[in-house]
């Protein structure tokens, strides 16, 4: 039951609205019997990794669904970005947004590249093509775009800029499985894209990812780099890593893929309900997916005034709604990137306003209504809520 006054909120000592936590990123699970059957088959075969039959089948299904010539399934998207960037022979600086998951800059830094953070468009949360154009310099080796929340605004402009300057273009498509951009499957944009099949993603394999490309030579290099550089049993062609997906993850991925349409339908239903229930709540804007493209609706993201954001988040978390401030405070203000950090006013302003809400198969329509009722109450008394919570130290940690 949602409180009907501020005093009834859990953050002020009332009963939480939810008895169990509602997560951003609860796994969407495929059919359990199918997963167990596939894992049983793998155990019977005694073939658990190294491009086994489930890996092959999953890889081919992903390839078909994403509309590209080559799919190289990997252990996770972070290592997928590393393999792709290495295979593209990038060296030096890469332009990328700061408003992304830390895995994006970490992936390239870990292999010796230097991320140069570029501003986003505050409406779309994706790289601002004009800012990218201004940031290109003599040391720029490539561009890494991110289809944040599965939206690809500006991606075709990035393609034009990359072509004009002869720069490789890699897309972090971790959020964008099954999406299109300007009517094209996202995986066909740029030189290569990398999707994630992490447990928290629309299609999950526990851990997993895939490099997607139409470039035959790049695909061959990625395949080899995924597997220690082996060209044949006894020959190593290049420096490489181990980025293979195991058969157990592939089993989860296959069952999850079977259910993909159903997952998207529930995500869409939840998203539309959030939009409807929050439409007239002052100060709340739900990001939109109304660009005419296909979306997986896997992220429900709202923007609220920065002054109230953390009080709202605390309020939700106390009610067992584990909303997140993805991706606060921007990668340029995190750990290893702080030393070089330049102010990024647009990224900082957006990251101060954003709240990501729970969705996915674990969220019913009633759950969505419950979350929206808390937001409505909190926003109706935003000033008082913020004032009352300001005195206390907020721990909005992980």
CB of 148 to ligand T4K, least distance (A): 6
Which of 281/358 has CB closer to ligand T4K?
358
Q: Which DSSP state fits 302?
A: E
Which structure tokens are listed for 55? 């890996």
CB of 88 to ligand T4K, least distance (A): 17
CB of 138 to ligand T4K, least distance (A): 28
Which structure tokens are listed for 85? 């960037």
What is the C-alpha separation between 142 and 93, in angstroms, rounded?
Answer: 7
CB of 126 to ligand T4K, least distance (A): 11
CB of 228 to ligand T4K, least distance (A): 20
Q: Report the residue number whose CB is nearest to ligand T4K.
A: 25
Which of 6/102 has CB closer to ligand T4K?
102
CB of 158 to ligand T4K, least distance (A): 16
What is the C-alpha separation between 379 and 385, in angstroms, rounded?
Answer: 8
CB of 197 to ligand T4K, least distance (A): 7
Q: How far apart are the first and last CA of the chain?
A: 26
Question: In the complex, which residues of this chain contact ligand T4K (CB under 6 A)?
Answer: 23-27, 76-78, 100-101, 103-104, 146, 172, 174-175, 196, 198-200, 209, 322, 326, 398
Q: Which DSSP state fits 216?
A: H
What is the C-alpha separation between 100 and 198, in angstroms, rounded?
Answer: 16
What is the C-alpha separation between 252 and 270, in angstroms, rounded?
Answer: 24
Q: Which DSSP state fits 392?
A: S
CB of 198 to ligand T4K, least distance (A): 4
| Residue 35 Cα distances to 29, 41, 264, angstroms | 9, 10, 20
Which of 12/110 has CB closer to ligand T4K?
110
- Return the beta strands (E) in 107-250 as ranges: 114-118, 140-146, 169-172, 180-181, 184-185, 192-196, 209-213, 230-232, 235-236
The residue to which tokens 């408003």 are assigned: 99
CB 187 within 8 A of CB 66: yes
Can the peptide bond before residue 253 be classed as cis, meaning omega within 30 degrees of 0? no
What is the C-alpha separation between 381 and 309, in angstroms, rounded?
Answer: 13
């Amino acid at each position: 039951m949602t409180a009907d006054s501020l005093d009834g909120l859990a953050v002020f000592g009332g009963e939480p609205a939810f008895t169990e936590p509602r997560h951003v990123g609860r796994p969407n699970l495929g059919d359990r019997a199918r997963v167990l059957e596939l894992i049983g088959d793998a155990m019977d075969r005694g073939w658990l990794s190294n491009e086994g039959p489930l890996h092959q089948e999953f890889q081919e299904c992903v390839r078909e669904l994403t509309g590209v010539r080559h799919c190289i399934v990997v252990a996770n998207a972070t290592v997928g970005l590393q393999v792709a960037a290495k295979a593209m022979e990038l060296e030096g600086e890469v332009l990328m947004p700061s408003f992304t998951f830390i895995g994006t800059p970490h992936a390239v830094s870990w292999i010796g590249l230097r991320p140069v953070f570029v501003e986003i468009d505050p409406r779309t949360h994706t790289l601002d093509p004009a800012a990218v154009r201004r940031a290109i310099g003599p040391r720029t080796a490539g561009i890494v775009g991110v289809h944040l929340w599965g939206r690809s605004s500006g991606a075709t402009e990035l393609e034009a800029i990359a072509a004009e300057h002869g720069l490789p273009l890699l897309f972090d498509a971790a959020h964008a499985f099954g999406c299109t951009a300007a009517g094209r499957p996202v995986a066909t944009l740029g030189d290569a894209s990398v999707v994630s099949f992490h447990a928290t993603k629309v299609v999950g394999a526990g851990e997993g990812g895939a490099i997607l490309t139409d470039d035959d030579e790049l695909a061959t290099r990625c395949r080899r780099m995924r597997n220690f550089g082996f060209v044949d049993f006894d020959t190593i062609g290049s420096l490489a890593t181990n980025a293979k997906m195991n058969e157990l993850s592939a089993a989860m991925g296959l069952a999850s893929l079977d259910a993909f349409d159903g997952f998207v339908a529930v995500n869409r239903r939840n998203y539309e309900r959030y939009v409807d229930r929050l439409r007239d709540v002052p100060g709340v804007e739900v990001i939109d997916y109304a660009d005419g493209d296909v979306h997986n609706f896997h992220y429900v993201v709202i923007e609220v005034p920065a002054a109230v954001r953390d009080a709202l988040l605390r309020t939700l978390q106390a009610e067992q709604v584990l909303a997140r401030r993805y991706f606060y405070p921007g990668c340029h203000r995190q750990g290893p990137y702080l030393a070089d950090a330049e102010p990024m006013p647009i990224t900082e302003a957006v990251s101060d306003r954003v709240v990501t809400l729970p969705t996915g198969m674990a969220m019913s329509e009633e759950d969505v209504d419950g979350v929206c009722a808390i937001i409505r109450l909190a926003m109706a008394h935003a000033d008082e809520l913020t004032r009352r919570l300001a005195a206390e130290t907020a721990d909005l940690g992980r």
